[in-house]
């Protein structure tokens, strides 16, 4: 455990920790482009130069391992001059027309050249204009803006392992391309837009849609498979503009006492880093599937068409549930949060006395390409299947396929969405059921054939928790406001329960507290986990 001095501060770090990492753990900022915590440093950009006593030249802190008795200085004039010179060099052919660039607002180069850069350049020659290149149908590449940090190249080499990208040409003409005959496959390609520190790589999906500084970022969980990757949702008012990984925000990981160089991570940490740094393309581009706002402007009541206010609909449903007694069939979507599932199962078990529940089946989440080292997908495309299983188990409710519930012809069928069109297949088979209630945010063929539809929220509109395949309870957060007269699914359920039995379950945190107390599985789902999603502390305020 070497002890060394950085900017006059004595610190002790783990074996093999680099100066840059040590500095970050102390909150000392050393500007850097090519270093990334998820893969080996290349020492390419020279931005991270620091002065180390007894070494004649400035050293790249991202590759220099901290050793006993080192004295590091990060703010001397020499260092400052070097940084400014490096930036001037990087900007030789960089257009620096940030207004025109999609990265502006979250660009590291923009931030650094503002902070450390020279105010003018010695270069008089006109900057080179270069053609844009389509790296794939999802990613646009602009060689003008590329600073040759090779993060994208190393990502494909070290993390994905398929090594499609390389630097071609030399000097001012160098650019990133795929090897001849190779192409970037859909799967984990979106991540390179996240890790590229400048606006050279951008996703077609988000390109030009909105300025990043107009978006509000929410930490939440990807709902598209059972892995439950942590994501950021960037949104404005009613619209989700993009989903990205929580890459670049692992500062607190460096404070871990067992911290070691990347290669020395225990397996679980490598997993954690990868899982939080990167997400798959289904999550990045496919989030629209899970949030697409359907056309359910308000409650639909085909049973008593004149009563369409929320109060009417809820008391009608409550009354029907009371009449049906134990002959209530329940179907729950694995997109429901733990709290919703709990309230729903509570309704079935303690109020109706039903002992079985159908869980809508979503297809398995397949890996995209077997050859990649990065394998994030897990289980099926049902984010909260594990949680529902655990709660049903704890309440003594048997999980059956949806067909069986429908085939048993209950007096009343209650479907808790979002169904995401997976119930459409049963539209024909629900004929004999006297009363069908659906809670869903999106119109579907099934919704057109039920008696009561209560518009709910999608995952980006509500608060709650999901349990992933590994049993980790993670928090999802409200990122956008709901349009129209939709209501939070949980509120609808608790209102119905209150209407029937007079019992108040309360809001989401009350119910979570209840589950933590009553269900052993949820023990330890403490506040810290719930606020961060994973066991890391809240992201630092910085963008980078």
Partner 1 sequence: MPEKSMTKKKYNFKEALYLIEILRGLGVTIKHFFVRKKFAINYPEETLHIVGNTQQTMKVMDKDAQKLIDRMEVTMNYRGKHALLVDGDLGRCVACKMCETVCPFFAIYIEPEESPDPRKERSPRIFEVDLTRCAYCGYCVEACPENAITMTSFYSLVARQRPELSIQKKELRTVIK
Choose the contact partner of 214 out of ligand SF4, ligand FES, partner 1, none; CB within 5 to 8 A by kind. Answer: partner 1
| C-beta closer to partner 1: residue 71 or 98 | 98
Q: Which of residues 180-219 bind partner 1 (CB under 8 A)?
A: 208, 211, 213-214
- d(CA 510, CA 508) in angstroms, rounded, equals 5
Choose the contact partner of 142 out of ligand SF4, partner 1, ligand FES, none; CB within 5 to 8 A by kind. Answer: partner 1
Q: How far is the CB of 21 from ligand SF4 (least distance, A)?
A: 20
Per-residue x/- mask for ligand FES, residues 9 to 48, rule CB under 6 A? -----------------------xxxx-----x-xxxxxx
- 125: contact with partner 1 by CB under 8 A: no
CB 238 within 8 A of CB 480: yes
Interface with ligand SF4 (CB under 6 A), residue from 200, 221, 290, 482: 200
- In sequence order, the 6+-apart residues with CB closer than 8 A to the CB of 311 are none
- 190: contact with ligand SF4 by CB under 6 A: no
Q: How far is the CB of 6 from ligand FES (least distance, A)?
A: 16
Count interface residues toward ligand SF4 (CB under 6 A). 26
Q: Tell me the helices (H) and strands (E) count for the chain, helix number first.
A: 14, 22
| C-beta closer to partner 1: residue 11 or 96 | 96
CB 356 within 8 A of CB 327: no
- 98: contact with ligand SF4 by CB under 6 A: yes
Choose the contact partner of 103 out of ligand SF4, partner 1, ligand FES, none; CB within 5 to 8 A by kind. Answer: ligand SF4
Choose one: 196-204, 235-243, 380-388, 444-452; the region binding ligand SF4 (CB under 6 A): 196-204
Choose the contact partner of 159 out of partner 1, ligand FES, ligand SF4, none; CB within 5 to 8 A by kind. Answer: none
Between the alpha carbon of residue 336 and those of residues 119, 263, 295, the distances in Å are 54, 38, 20
- 198: contact with ligand SF4 by CB under 6 A: yes
Q: How far is the CB of 171 from ligand SF4 (least distance, A)?
A: 14
- d(CA 313, CA 495) in angstroms, rounded, equals 11
- 109: contact with ligand SF4 by CB under 6 A: yes
- d(CA 503, CA 496) in angstroms, rounded, equals 10
Q: Which of residues 139-178 bind ligand SF4 (CB under 6 A)?
A: 145-152, 176
CB 33 within 8 A of CB 147: yes
Bridge pairing between strands 3-6 and 71-73: parallel
Own/partner pairs, 7-15, CB within 8 angstroms, 24+ separation: 7/72, 7/73, 7/74, 7/75, 13/66, 13/259, 14/257, 14/258, 14/259, 14/260, 15/260, 15/264
Choose one: 106-114, 222-230, 488-496, 502-510; the region binding ligand SF4 (CB under 6 A): 106-114
Choose one: 27-35, 84-92, 95-103, 281-289; the region binding partner 1 (CB under 8 A): 95-103
Q: In DSSP terms, which residues pair with 133 in a beta bridge? A: 141
| C-beta closer to ligand SF4: residue 17 or 140 | 140
Tokens read off for 512? 């979570």
Q: How far is the CB of 104 from partner 1 (least distance, A)?
A: 8
Cα 507 to chain centroid distance, Å, stands at: 24
- d(CA 118, CA 14) in angstroms, rounded, equals 36
- d(CA 402, CA 361) in angstroms, rounded, equals 8
Q: Which of residues 47-106 bind ligand FES (CB under 6 A)?
A: 47-48, 60, 62
Q: In DSSP terms, which residues pair with 431 in a beta bridge? A: none
| C-beta closer to ligand FES: residue 48 or 240 | 48
CB 230 within 8 A of CB 477: no
- 110: contact with ligand SF4 by CB under 6 A: yes
Ramachandran quadrant class, 89 (left: phi over 0; alpha: psi -120 to 50; beta: rest): alpha
What residue ranges bind ligand SF4 (CB under 6 A)? 94-99, 101, 103-104, 107, 109-110, 145-152, 176, 196, 198-201
What residue ranges bind ligand FES (CB under 6 A)? 32-35, 41, 43-48, 60, 62
């Amino acid at each position: 455990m070497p002890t060394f001095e950085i900017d006059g501060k004595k610190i002790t770090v783990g074996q093999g920790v680099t100066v840059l990492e040590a500095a970050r753990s102390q909150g000392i900022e050393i500007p850097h482009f090519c270093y990334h915590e998820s893969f080996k440093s290349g020492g390419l950009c020279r931005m991270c130069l620091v002065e180390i006593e007894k070494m004649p030249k400035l050293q790249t802190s991202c590759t220099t391992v901290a050793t006993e008795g080192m004295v590091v200085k990060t703010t001397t004039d020499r260092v400052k001059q070097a940084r400014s010179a490096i930036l001037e060099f990087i900007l030789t052919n960089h257009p620096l027309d940030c207004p025109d660039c999609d990265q502006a607002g979250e660009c590291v180069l923009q931030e650094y050249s503002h902070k450390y850069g020279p105010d003018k350049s010695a270069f008089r020659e006109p900057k080179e204009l270069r053609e844009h290149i389509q790296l794939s149908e999802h990613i646009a590449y602009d060689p003008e803006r590329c600073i040759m940090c090779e993060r994208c190249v190393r990502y494909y080499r070290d993390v994905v392992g398929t090594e499609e990208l390389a630097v071609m040409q030399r000097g001012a003409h160098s650019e990133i391309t795929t090897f001849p005959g190779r192409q970037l496959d859909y799967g984990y390609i979106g991540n390179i837009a996240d890790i590229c520190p400048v606006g050279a790589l951008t996703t077609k999906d988000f390109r030009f849609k909105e300025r990043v500084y107009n978006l509000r970022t929410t930490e939440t969980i990807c709902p598209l498979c059972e892995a439950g990757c942590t994501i950021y949702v960037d949104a404005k008012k009613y619209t989700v503009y993009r989903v990205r990984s929580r890459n670049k925000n692992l500062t607190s990981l460096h404070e871990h006492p067992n911290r070691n160089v990347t290669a020395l991570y225990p397996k679980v940490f490598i997993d954690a880093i990868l899982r939080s740094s990167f997400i798959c393309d289904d999550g990045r581009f496919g989030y629209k599937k899970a949030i697409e706002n359907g056309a359910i402007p308000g409650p639909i009541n085909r049973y008593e068409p004149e009563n369409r206010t929320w109060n009417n609909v809820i008391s009608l449903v409550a009354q029907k549930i009371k009449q049906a007694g134990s002959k209530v069939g329940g179907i729950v979507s694995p997109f429901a949060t733990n709290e919703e599932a709990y309230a729903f199962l509570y309704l079935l078990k303690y109020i109706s006395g039903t002992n079985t529940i159908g869980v809508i089946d979503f297809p398995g989440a397949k890996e995209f390409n077997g050859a990649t080292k990065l394998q994030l997908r897990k289980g099926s495309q049902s984010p909260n299947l594990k949680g529902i299983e655990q709660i049903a188990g704890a309440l003594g409710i048997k999980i059956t396929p949806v067909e069986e519930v429908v085939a048993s012809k209950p007096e009343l069928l209650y479907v808790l969405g979002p169904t995401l069109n997976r119930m459409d297949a049963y539209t024909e088979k629900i004929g004999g059921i006297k009363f069908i209630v659906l809670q869903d945010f999106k119109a579907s063929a099934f919704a057109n054939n039920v008696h009561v539809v209560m518009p709910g929220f999608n995952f980006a509109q509500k608060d709650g928790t999901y349990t992933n395949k590994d049993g980790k309870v993670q928090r999802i957060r409200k990122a956008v406001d709901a349009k129209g007269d939709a209501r939070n699914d949980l509120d609808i359920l608790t209102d119905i329960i209150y209407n029937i039995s007079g019992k108040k379950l309360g809001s989401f945190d009350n119910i979570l507290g209840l589950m933590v107390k009553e269900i052993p599985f949820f023990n330890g789902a403490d506040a810290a986990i719930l606020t961060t999603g994973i066991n890391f502390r809240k992201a630092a305020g910085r963008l980078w």
